[in-house]
Amino acid sequence: MNSLPLITVEQHILEEQRRHHPGASGEFSWLLSGITLATKIVAAQVRRAGLGQVLGSTGEQNVQGETVQKLDVLANQALLHCLETRGTVAIMASEENEEPVVVERDREHGKYVVVFDPLDGSSNIDVNVSVGTIFSILRREPDAERTRDPLLDVLQPGYRQVAVGYVVYGSSTVLVYTTGNGVFGFTLDPSVGAYLISHDRITMPPYGRIYSVNEANADSFPDPYIKFLAHLRSGKTGRTYSSRYIGSLVADFHRTLLKGGVFLYPPTRQYSQGKLRLLYEANPIALLAEQAGGMATDGTRRILDIEPTSLHQRTPLLVGSREEIELLMQMIKSDTRVARISPSL
């Protein structure tokens, strides 16, 4: 039985605003309610996916070159519709859209940009594996003259995010979010149709016993990553590690957030610049990790410090507990030093 008080996510957002932003107008909480509404729509479709006509692909490919699933389209449409009617969102950017979507009605004075992956891991939906939605909210300056390129409002580094979160559609539907003052989790109670607080101030353990990586690609990882994984398996850390990899970023990170350990998507021969998208996957996950006491890097720099140059920019992502990430970074730096010295030997 949940011993936490029955607080809905909407109540929590309003309380957080009163505590940290007493002069807030309520527009931000209204925006977030649009996201929660959209995810409830998606959750309902995921629960009955095998009974409706929403399984399988559309036969098309998105801008990423990936096969579009029917639920990708449904989730994308739900978020676009629920956000464009809020009156506070000027621009939206989605994994499924090649260019930013401008809300013409609110372009001049809309205060926010929302970036999202509508259905992360959607290729797993046909086999009933957990999938999720990831979102990031950014502020923008008013554009009264309507002359600024909307893309410039989207291409902001991760440290400028004002709120991020994800929803994982699994054995239960769980919303996790932060506005920069801690990480909180809410579980959807389908009997009342509300997200109720279930995880108060989530803190990522300083270390874990699980690493999450697609080891089938290990032969194409740079040497430091191969050595790092071997080190974890060797028991030299004083702990025994298990390998767990779901293939849905949201689900893999949700476990890492709660249990500790590390999630890795390194550069590979096929994806030398990484595969995950900076703006609507890596940035929101990185902010959540840092707010919970963890770390997120691309192997050389903090994810949140990367200056984006394109809407669908990719990046390596190494995220998890401080102990594992710091160990991996030491190995990467050591390998870099050796590489610099070797040519002169």
Which residue matches tokens 């629960």? 47
pLDDT at 83: 95
9-199 with 210-340: one CATH topology? no
In whole angstroms, how far apart are CA 344 and each of 79, 184, 214, 335, 339? Answer: 55, 52, 35, 15, 10
Q: Which amino acid is it at 181?
A: N
Each residue's pLDDT, cut to its tens digit, for the chain (345 residues) gives 456 778 999 899 888 888 877 766 678 888 999 999 999 999 998 887 665 566 656 556 666 666 667 888 899 999 999 999 888 999 999 998 999 999 988 788 889 999 999 999 877 777 878 999 999 999 998 777 778 898 999 999 999 999 999 999 988 999 999 999 999 999 999 888 999 999 999 999 999 999 999 999 999 999 999 999 999 999 999 999 999 999 999 999 999 999 999 999 999 999 999 999 999 999 999 999 999 999 999 999 999 999 999 999 999 999 999 999 999 999 999 987 655 554 443
Helix 249-259 × helix 283-291 angle, to 10°: 10
Token pair 């098309």 is at which residue?
Answer: 60
Question: Taking the model in full, what pTM does it have?
Answer: 0.91
Side chain identity at residue 167, one-letter code: V
Q: Is residue 56 within 8 Å of residue 126, measured between CB atoms? A: yes
> What top-level class would CATH report for the domain 210-340?
alpha beta
69 has which bridge partners?
A: 57
Instruction: Give me the torsion for CA of 295, 300, 305, 311, rounded to 10°.
Output: -110
Find tokens 């239960």 and name the residue.
Answer: 172
For the chain, what are the domain ranges? 9-199, 210-340
Statement: 9-199 belongs to CATH 1.10.8.290: no
